[in-house]
Amino acid sequence: MGRSVGDSAGFPLCLPTWTRPASMTDATAQEVGASSLTLLLHTAFEHAPDGMAFASLDGVLLTANRSLCSMLGLSEPDVLGKSLFELLEPRAAEALKARLSLLQTGAQRTFSRDCQTVGRMGRPLWLGLSVAVMRDAQGQTAGVIVQARDITDSKQVERVLLASDRRFRTIFNALSEGFIETTPDGTVVDLNQPLCRMLGYGREDLVGKQIFFVLDEASRGRMQRALLEPQAGARSYEVTLCRKDGEGIPAQVLSTPLTDDSGALLGMMAIVLDVRERNQALQALRDSEQRNRTLVEALQDGLVMIRDQRFHYVNPPFATMLGYAPGDLIGVPVRRFLLEQTDYPHGLPQGEAELTFVGQDGRQVVALINGGLAQASDQPGGLLIATVRDVTERRRIQAEVRKLSWAVEHSPASVMITDRSGRIEYVNPQFTAVTGYQSEEVLGCLPSILKSEETASDVHQGLWRSLSNGEQWSGEFRNRRKDGTLFWDYTSVAPIRNESGEVTHFVAVKEDITARKEAELRTWRRANFDAVTGLPNRVLFMDRLSQSLTRAQRNGEPVAVMFIDLDHFKAVNDTLGHEAGDAVLRGVARRLEESVRDSDTVARLAGDEFMVILPSPGDEKDVTIVAERILDALRQPFLIDGDKEAYIGGSVGIALYPEDGTDPHALIRSADHAMYRSKDGGRNCYQFFTAEMNRVVEARIQLENDLRRAVQGGEFAVHFRPVFNHHQRSLQAAAVTVQWAHPVQGILPADSFWAVAEEIGVVAELGDLMLRRACVQAAVWRDSGYPFLGVIVPVSSRQLSSSPFMEAVDLALERSGLEASALSLAIPEEVLLKLTPVSEAALMALAARGIRVIVQGFGSGYAGLHQLRRFPFAGVELSDSVVRSIAEDHDGGMIAEAVIAMAHKMGLAVTARIPSRFQGVGALLTTYGDWFEGVVLPDTLSGADFEDVLEARGAPVLPAGL
């Protein structure tokens, strides 16, 4: 074998060589060698992936390979003879002309430039152009060599990278390596923190000192030359830095002299890079670059040479592509790195092909190869030369595009793409399914083909205003399908921009929300309309009344409000059933609507209560006519199930704006009071709100306000009434009550404000106050020598039905230390008719704790015996009316006797609560005293007064005469 062709340094270029037979003459050998080399170069020239051509000194193309012709979209005859300058953009052509003289003289070896021209089918084509002078054996200029690479894709990537570079330039500027500035004699002026960390010194340790003391001896000379030879300009050299801890660090210094306007040296600036981890890689890179400089100087793709199906040579880009160093691949079979184990005669296929390589880490690399066989006479198997381009990312992007396309095609949302002017260019199948339009029916049309005139104009205006500003927009449309039916869709529209940031298209994603809107409408109707009658409910009524009052105030007009309560409706429910009651309510709603104008509002508040709003009703006579029409309509019988008649009536209360109230609540309250006055007047009539009613209402409002203030201000005091055991004639408990120290009216008993406190919701606070203080007082009495004494605390229905009630009871007992058996709770009899799961659970929990529960006001007719048996009550307390009837009415005594006998039969203790100012106490107890286990006396005592009674009498007994 002969010596490989090499460069001036003798470095092999990895080209095939041949060996001259011994019998061959020198002349013959030269001819054969030249022929083989020519064949090899011609093959490489023809199969090169880059465009290549030879041209005369004046730029006329003499020969061109297939790749160049393919790039230009011209045939070889059309290319040959054409001036190179005609193919280039004007600026590049002028630059080439100016540089040809430099190339011919040898002052410049090559000329490289990226330029734009026209390629196949007239598409814009970017070329990476390299031009070099070709010389003959005597060194004379023989022509120029032209190499052209299609860098259109690279340019697109470059533009993306430039945009990214602009976005992150600030961040990158902050991620610098070591930086130092010195004076001409090497004194450190400044340096940054990365360099301080590299050297292990603080900044104050180095500023003002010579830079040389952190350099080893050999490095000082390089640094001095950089300072003493500023005319050499910027230079790069390696030094060894001496850390504070003595460690030597190899570093790369990039220094630049600093001069003033006159050229005088001011100092030096240098970037210092720690190259400890890079030295070995950089050395390998320099070696590889030196070996392959001529071949791959401008080559960015992988380049391989294969002989006998093994790698004979690989360039660094290919080795990096697979995760290896170039030397690791030499001599290794190509088949080992192919995903598909196909045996190719030369290791890789000839021509263009796409293969998948497997890298060192198992990563699959999709590559586009272009191989050609360079066969010499002394190499029967030939040498395959191939370029390898990594298209993994491109294929990944294409796969992502395919997936995205599939996702759009199968998306449950409608997708529509329009051009910049709004003309539809694409719709997906879901769009067709929702709208009924086929794609060919809407392509080229405007989206307004779906417009229904049901969407507010400001929605469309907002859409186009946002899109005109290049912004995204989203909103709801009421559109029309092809068949004319309406539907709701939620649309999100976003602009699509090109690489220059210009809007080229719009994409709209549309979700059919018809079902959701209908559900929202149903929800809104449930929230604003009565389910039985279909009339507006309290919420919508209040809203409409507020609107009516606002208009009336603005226009100076009156408004009438009617409160209608049905008479005898409970009897319909009780006798005919609730379904019949609902039918009557629907009939009432229909008749009320027929009795008023379309502009009036009829609403059902709750139960058998209805309200009517009459905007601009006219004078009082006109309102009266409407009220009489309503009453007359309600007097007529209601037909139930076709054969039953139900008779009811109505009581109507009327309030007028602004005389009887200026806000909705005041008007409703006034109408409510007027309605109750009409019921008191015999029912089935109407009543206007009057000044007297207003005085009552104002007093009531004042009482409510005073009550709320009193609760916050602590104006209530807990008092006690003695409870005697009549059989043992001794004191057994204290019944708790509360008094209000009103700042104007003086001391008020509980009877004067308790009902109002329940209505306005402050009774829970009063009840908690009584419970806490009663437990504390009882504990004090029992600790003071009266262990038999307990307390009876009244509990309202609101307290019993609240979830925190049991917690309050437990807390009062815990903090006072009172035993549960000493506490009795008295609940009103009417509570038994309004029991809830919470209150039922509370009654059972009280009994489980050993707390006695007494039914208070028993005998009023609210509770039945079955209700008394459901829960473990300890006893009952007769109401005031029953106690009076016992003493004053013989028949009342007989009835009470029967009731008390049944209570005793159920094991319930009976307590008689003596009303205030009751004159028949003595006679009552003399005649019926044996019936009662307890007697609650009317005397109301403070805690201190109660203690005086206990102390004065020692072991208390029933007062004399009782």
Looking at the DSSP bridge assignments, the partners of residue 110 are 132
Q: What is the pLDDT of residue 925?
A: 57
Is the CB of residue 267 less than 8 Å from the CB of residue 183?
yes
Cis peptide bond N-terminal to 658, omega within 30: yes
Q: Which two tokens stand for residue 528?
A: 């604003």
The count of residues in the chain is 962
Average pLDDT per 10 consecutive residues for the chain, totaling 962 residues: 36 42 60 67 82 86 87 85 82 79 73 80 82 79 85 80 57 60 89 85 89 88 82 84 90 87 84 81 69 59 88 88 90 88 84 89 88 64 85 82 75 86 88 89 89 84 85 88 90 88 88 84 86 91 94 93 91 84 92 93 92 92 92 91 86 92 91 87 84 70 86 88 75 87 88 84 88 92 85 89 89 92 89 82 91 82 65 82 66 67 80 65 54 62 80 52 44
Phi then psi for residue 876, to 5 deg, are -130, 155
Going 90 to 93 to 97 to 103, the CA torsion angle's sign is positive
User: H-type helices in 180-278, by residue range?
Assistant: 193-199, 203-206, 217-228
Are 315 and 351 in contact by the 8 Å Cβ rule? The answer is no
Taking alpha carbons only, the member of 910, 913, 906 closest to residue 879 is 913
β-bridge pairing 364-374 and 51-55:
unpaired
pTM of structure: 0.40
Gap between the Cα atoms of 726 and 149, Å rounded: 120
pLDDT of residue 174: 52
Tokens standing for residue 847: 């009994």
**Structure tokens given for 284:** 């390998």
Q: Using DSSP bridges, classify how beta strands 110-118 and 124-135 pair: parallel, antiparallel or unpaired.
A: antiparallel
DSSP per-residue letters across 614-678: EES--SHHHHHHHHHHHHHHHHS-EEETTTEEE--EEEEEEEEETTT-SSHHHHHHHHHHHHHHH
Residue for token pair 């976005």: 167
* 649-657 vs 686-688, strand pairing mode: parallel
Closest C-alpha among 833, 777, 819, 770 to residue 799: 770
Query: What pLDDT was estimated at residue 288?
Result: 66
Give residue 220's pLDDT. 87
pLDDT of residue 1: 38
934 beta partners: 911
User: At 574, which amino acid appears?
Assistant: D
Query: What span, in angstroms and rounded, lies between the C-alpha atoms of 36 and 377?
Result: 7
pLDDT at 566: 92
Q: Within 238-324, where are the H helices? A: 279-296, 316-322
Q: How far apart are CA 784 and CA 950, in angstroms?
A: 10
Whole-angstrom Cα Rg for the chain: 53
Which positions ≥6 away from 440 have C-beta within 8 Å?
none
Helix (H, G, I), strand (E, B), or coil: what is residue 609?
A: strand
How big is the CA angle at 413 (ends 410 and 417), to the nearest 5 degrees? 90
> How many helices and strands, by DSSP H and E, does the chain display?
33, 36
Closest CA to 211 of 236, 190, 238, 233: 190
Whole-angstrom Cα distance, residue 223 to residue 211? Answer: 9
Residue 760, H or E segment:
helix 754-760
DSSP symbols for 908-948 = -EEEEEPPTT-TTHHHHHHHHGGG-SEEE-S--B-HHHHHH
